[in-house]
Structure 1
Amino acid sequence: MTARAQAWRTRTFSALRHPHYRRYWFSQLLSLTGSWMQATAQQYLVLELSGGSSAALGWVTAAQFMPSLLLSLFAGAVIDRVPRRNVLLATQITLLITATALAVTTHLGLVTLPLVMGIAFLSGCANAFDMPARQSMVVDFVPRSDVPNAVALNSLSFNVSRTVGQALFGVVAALGVTLLAGGNGDDISRLALPFYLNVASFFVVLYVIATLPFPPREGGPRGSMAEDVREGLRYVRGTPAVRNVMLLVGALSLTIINFNVIIPYYARVVFGAREATFGALS
């Protein structure tokens, strides 16, 4: 039984045997946990600033994800031409700056709804380039035989961080009442602590990105950027397995991912929940 469990553990986490991928994976797990904690705090902050307006929450969410819709198609072509280390350092520094701005303005009580929307839009622009660059790194740090496991572990880190990060918001916000708001549970500055912790997580990620050995690419882009985009679209259209997955993800994103707006609104406005319940429901 022990041998079987050992074999299962080895197969399940085989990609983590490789030191470079292991450093990358743990740094991403930390960063994503901080990002989800910030995203949950941002939702709560928007509802506080808007007096519980679902429309405001929807607009901020749209501002955050619209850049991915508009820019991700071209981001891959850009990443093919620019060293990925440079892309990732630029996007992570941008996200660090936006998180710092959100933390400081919330702490000082200067945060406003238009400011949150602007920060969400800038973060969305950075994420439109950050996500493709990070996803393309998996094959650099593991041999071909371990690529499926590395992809699965990437999905695991995303879902684990989403669960843990959103739940942590409730705990961290409660600490913020004591550390930043002087015990006043209605002081908006209490929500700055999740943002500060996310800022701290970026320094770990920046160090890992700066020190990881990025292998040189084989070959290089041919033709214009527009031609690269058209080639990608032709490939998706001509490959049913890829096309069907894209259509399925698009349909689910359009109809189901709206829980990012619905759950926060129900938690805070309908049920009148405070931070801990809000994070648990999220």
Structure 2
Amino acid sequence: MRKHRSLASILNIVAATVLGLVFLVPILWMIFTSFKTLGEAMASSSLIPYTWTLENYVQLFSDTGDAPIDRWIINTALVTVAGTLFVVFVDVLAAYSLARLDFPGKKLVLIMIVGALTIPGIVTLFPSFYIFKMLNLTDTYVPLIFPYSAGTLGVFLIYNFLLSFPKELEEAAHLDGANQWRILVSVIFPTVRPAILTLTVITFLNIYNDYLWPLLVVNSPEMKTVTTGLASLIQGANFVNPAKMMASTLIATLPALIIFLFTNRFFVKGVTGSGIK
């Protein structure tokens, strides 16, 4: 029986390794191709470059005309960080209010939040676009940031965490003289930290990788984000330069990849755990 279990474990490890390599090959191809010359990228089928070069990266950052990639990175960082902070702040306050405060229509609000989770984002995409267009706010930072300022998923996630949190701890803090805001910061926040970190990672990646919404509300090259900017690069003259395309893709991928690697354990804990252990 033990031999069968050992054999099954070995087969599982081998299968997981092979599957991991299958998903890793496109990433390795992107990385190595970005360091190839144009001729080698077009003609060679080898994974490892024969001649290593940084020419593709130099060209990307030196071209500040129709492809200001440094400006795209700044725009993306600003939009992503601001949008994520808005979502976390609003969703935490909304979830706390629903979990702890009594007010008229509370059950109706909860039903609306759960119902909103079932509505596809594409349904509200064009109405939101026309609102910003009528207000003459397109091609600015306003439509790139404020539509991300709240999300029903975060409210629902943190609300469920707070349901398992004992109210006795909050009552004890209140008896010690802590006000509502102090209780929220010193008692609630440390408890729901896994949920907040999970919400932060999900929101960051969603905003960072969003393509359709920035494409609708932004036209000028200097206001584009990384996703829309890279799309314009691929559709332009660089379509015939796979090495430069891979270099730009790697630049766009690195921030999200690094953040996910450093926050992965918090993300898994927030998804699988709930309440106080």
TM-score by length of 1: 0.31
TM-score by length of 2: 0.31
Q: Which has the larger radius of gyration?
A: 2
* Structure with the largest fraction of helix: 1
